[in-house]
Amino acid sequence: MSEKKLTLPLLDPQLLRPALWEAGKKLSLRAQLRNPVMAVVYLGSLLCSALWVQALLGHGDSPAWLTGSIAVWLWFTVLFANFAEALAEGRSKAQAASLKGLKKAAWAKKLAAPQRYGAAFSTVESSDLRKGDVVLVQAGEAIPCDGEVIEGIASVDESAITGESAPVIRESGGDFSSVTGGTRVLSDWMVVRATVNPGETFIDRMIAMVEGAKRGKTPNEVALTILLLALTLIFLLVTVTLLPFSLYSVNAAGSGEVVSLPVLLALLVCLIPTTIGGLLSAIGVAGMSRLMAANVIATSGRAVEAAGDVDVLLLDKTGTITFGNRQASALLPAAGVSQQQLAEAAWLASLADDTPEGKSLVALAAQLTRAADSGMLAALQRGDTPADSSFVPFTAQSRMSGVNVAGRQIRKGAADAIRRQVEMAGGQFSPALQQQVDSVASRGSTPLVVAEGAQALGVIELKDVVKPGIRERFAQLRQMGIRTVMITGDNRLTAAAIAAEAGVDDFLAEATPEAKLAMIRDYQKRGQLVAMTGDGTNDAPALAQADVAVAMNSGTQAAREAANMVDLDSSPTKLIEVVEIGKQMLMTRGALTTFSLANDVAKYFAIIPAAFAATYPQLNLLNVMGLSSPASALLSAVMFNALIIIALIPLALKGVRYRALGAAALLRRNLLVYGVGGLLLPFVGIKAIDLLLTLLGWV
């Protein structure tokens, strides 16, 4: 795979200048009111600036230089929070910039009735196309709209979206019929029906989400915002009451000084959770950006957050747990059936099967039979399909495929589906044949049964291999409290063998769309969040029901519309990575919240003695840091409060390192690293700033 075009350095120099400009633009009351915590800091900065002007005119209750210094650092606090958010948004906008190049105006060959290849067409601009219009796209042309291939087959370059240079095949029917506007046809031709109107395309939605224009706050983010607002109101009430308390104390003691408004403002800003308040939005935007860097597009921030909270993962066996390149390895004829007879029937039933296993079966049958002995096989091999033949495609409901030719009805499919077919035709499924099916399944291989009319001819053995390391990944998920469920169309014996080898917690065998949907609803009734992945139209109901649904970009339009995430790489294992990214975003938010609340403690020991020790000298006992003066204590605390936001921006953007830990272990680690660390670091930082200010002679 080529290098991902959407990956950016953590602190790209090209993003710093625009982020600084955006940080300044966010200094408006409307922008600040979206963040209640920083809105308080913003209003405090305005008030402190006014008090500075008053002090310059000789009417202030604190020295002008001190009031001005506090005002400057309060503004820096607001600016640094704006900068964190702007930098996160800038990274997302840079990721979206490459997508905007795909929205260039293009011409489309709009087909007239009968809307098939060879019909007359008119050339129109892509912006004039509407849902339901049918266009012809030929080699070298850009696909003008999102749509479904309804005729033809072509190789398509999707590197502009996926970052993958290798072309992909898109064809009518099946699960690889969806195409994205802006991609380019490299060879052949196809007829495409538009599935969206202009402005509603996949790329439009990608750009909107990546830029953050429609991100919106997630439920957890809203809940945390309410908590931070409550803490802010509490500290605001506490700070407001300190002024009359100070007035009373000075009058009662007959000594000391009334605490000034600039000092109270500094105390308020230092005590409210400004660190997490300033970084909260950046954490959410950065989470979306990390998801985009993994080549996954989410249609909502809620989906990313839900991914971090999922309890159950539904994973397809093929391509996710196993490599998915099942190959026909053996033909096991039933009693009274020759291997050549079974091979001939298997070959006929697989000629219209373009899957890797179907092609491998054709190759295996060709080795075991002599085409010259059968004129029909020889004709089919040359492509001379008899006029009276018709192929029966595979469906998720029937779970079998086949061919009707020259009065013969040949079917190939799952053992239970073929059993029903044989019994409905008046035949019998012998115990010996069932034993063969069970024997193949017990080895972890997939058994397919071939039947002609009412007679079961034998068993085909398909071998697949479990991916290395997948068992360890499932163990990590289990450690985090996530249950893994394997979904497969195989029978229960095969499913059980693969499930045991892979280490999943449960499996659903002989899965139908209805069975998937029922399983998801069952888990959700128990209060659990469910994540799944899919690519076909038959997966759409289950994807729509799941809390986190990842559709393959190569899948059908129905699957992509039903999902709340789209994997541009079309990798079934991406679901595990999506869950890890969601977990990381929640871990980052929790860690920085813990740090923010813990680091306020040190500021009590800095500002309280500075503000009230003149009235109550006993409070000097709280000056455990030995700060040089009240002015230095105030400035050191305010400066540290602003600078820590800048220091934590890389962590907010990159995210806390993901660890596969349970909730209890994660909480302990959080409290130890970010709780204790957040408690101790300000003592060191404030003292260091105090020493620097004293050394420079600024206080």
DSSP 647-673: HHHHHHHH-SPP----HHHHHHHHIII
Per-residue pLDDT, 1: 34
pLDDT tens-digit series, residues 651-669: 998 889 888 777 788 888 8
Q: Whose CA is closest to 511, among 484, 487, 492, 546?
A: 487
Three-state SS at 128: helix
Per-residue pLDDT, 596: 92
pLDDT tens-digit series, residues 147-170: 889 999 998 988 767 666 668 888
Per-residue pLDDT, 5: 44
**Cα 218 to the center of its chain, rounded Å:** 14
| Angle between the N-to-C axes of helices 301-309 and 574-598, in degrees from 0 to 180, rounded to the nearest 10 | 90
Sequence-distant (≥ 6) Cβ neighbours of residue 485 within 8 angstroms: 312, 313, 314, 315, 504, 505, 506, 507, 508, 519
**And the tokens for 666?**
């994660």
Per-residue pLDDT, 2: 37
Of the chain, the end-to-end C-alpha distance in Å amounts to 59
Per-residue pLDDT, 196: 86
CB distance 96 to 206 below 8 Å:
yes
Q: Whose CA is closest to 446, among 324, 316, 571?
A: 324
- The residue ranges of DSSP E strands in 248-399, in sequence order, are 296-298, 312-316, 327-333, 390-392
Per-residue pLDDT, 160: 67
Assign residue 650 a region (left: φ > 0; alpha: ψ between -120 and 50; beta: otherwise).
Answer: alpha
Angle made by CA atoms 657, 659, 661, in degrees to the nearest 5? 145
- Assess whether 505 carries a catalytic annotation: no
- Give exposure, 21-34, as e/b (b: 16+ Cβ within 10 Å): ebbeebeeeeebee
Per-residue pLDDT, 272: 93
Q: Which residues in the chain show pLDDT less than 50?
A: 1-6, 213-214, 371-372
Q: Whose CA is closest to 77, among 48, 53, 28, 42?
A: 42
3-state secondary structure 594-623: HHHHHCCHHHHHHHHHHHHCCCCHHHHHHC
Catalytic residue among 133, 309, 316, 547: 316
CB distance 563 to 574 below 8 Å:
no
